[in-house]
Amino acid sequence: MDNNLPFKIFSGTNSRYLAEKICTSLGCPLGKMKIERFADGEFSVSYEESIRGGQVFLIQSTFPSSDNLMELLLMIDAAKRASASSIIAVIPYFGWARQDRKDKPRVSIGAKLIADMLSAAGINRLITMDLHADQIQGFFNVPVDHLYASAIFVDYIKTLDTDNLVIATPDVGGTKRASSYAKYFGLPMVICYKLRKKANEISEMQIIGDVTGMDVLLVDDIVDTAGTITKAADIMKASGARSVRAIASHAVMSDPASERVTQSGLTEMVFTDSIPYSKKCEKVVILSVADVFANAIRRVLSNESISSLYIL
């Protein structure tokens, strides 16, 4: 891309690996930015090239730690003060999305708070992928382009032997997501029903449906400690499944997730690269969403519809 063209792409520290892939797909350079860190943990952001009057795309997932979110907020503020005409936040993984409602008294709605913070900082548009709850789009008063990892997972599923395949969800909350895949491929679906005593701890799980002699594909959006998905896989195997694989959009993979996946009955655990995954686990496969985001950015720039990017 010629530096005189009216858009530029910048990245936060921990999403640079994905930003570079997106820029390669778009055929443009990654913008120059400087992030200085002080001894007390505070940091500052500055653009090393002019962005006056241009469209600015800021690529940063807001996964833990909260430094990633704070870095993005400072990038937005700096772009606004540098007279960018439009600021588009590209957040492949939208953190705090699991706090989307008051599920008990006296708790915060974290997803709404993050939406307010991004809006107050000055974004004009949000591009994200597989929000934990679709209604989070309504927390924003700016356009939200909500992409789906199904754009790459469908191609992955087509490489599997679908004659004996059954789609499964590791919990009742993911039924709609799993049902979309089952309908698209014309496959049967089973559901895991779980009861929790507290967060990240499952007390009971049961299967609704028959998996005997079947190849099971578990579908989820976020894998954090991997307790649910590995327990579901083990129960599927114990119930007669021939094999169990899993696909999930976001590899949060907090310890001891990698160890659990390694020791589980899963044949394969497939993620996108919305979050960097650097731990060693032979069962984990990473598929890139760079082309999906590049296509969305290209269409935003040319004012084209992005609905054709939605496979299911």
Q: Is the pLDDT of residue 3 over 70?
A: no
The amino acid occupying position 70 is M
Instruction: Say if residue 199's pLDDT is above 80.
Output: no
Reading the block at residue 21, the tokens are: 């892939």
Annotated catalytic residue: which of 21, 104, 194, 280? 194
**CATH top-level class of 150-287:** alpha beta
The pLDDT of 111-135, averaged and rounded, is: 97
Mean pLDDT over 158-176 rounds to 92
- The larger pLDDT score, comparing residue 196 to residue 274, is at 274
pLDDT band for 1, please (50, 70, 90 cuts): very low
Query: Which value, to the nearest 10 degrees, does the dihedral of the CA atoms of residues 181, 271, 192, 146 take?
Result: -50
Residue ranges of domains in the chain: 7-147, 150-287
pLDDT digits (tens, 9 = 90+) for 242-254: 999 999 999 999 9
**Any catalytic annotation for residue 194?**
yes
Long-range CB pairs of 97-106 (<8 Å, 24+ gap) are 97/131, 97/132, 97/133, 97/136, 98/132, 98/222, 100/132, 100/133, 100/135, 100/136, 101/133
Mean pLDDT of 89-108: 95
Position with higher pLDDT, 3 vs 50: 50
What is the CATH code for 7-147? 3.40.50.2020
pLDDT, average across residues 126-150:
96
pLDDT tens per residue across span 66-85: 999 999 999 999 999 999 99
Helix (H, G, I), strand (E, B) or coil at 248: strand
Given this chain, do its domains 7-147 and 150-287 carry the same CATH topology? Answer: yes
pTM of the model: 0.93
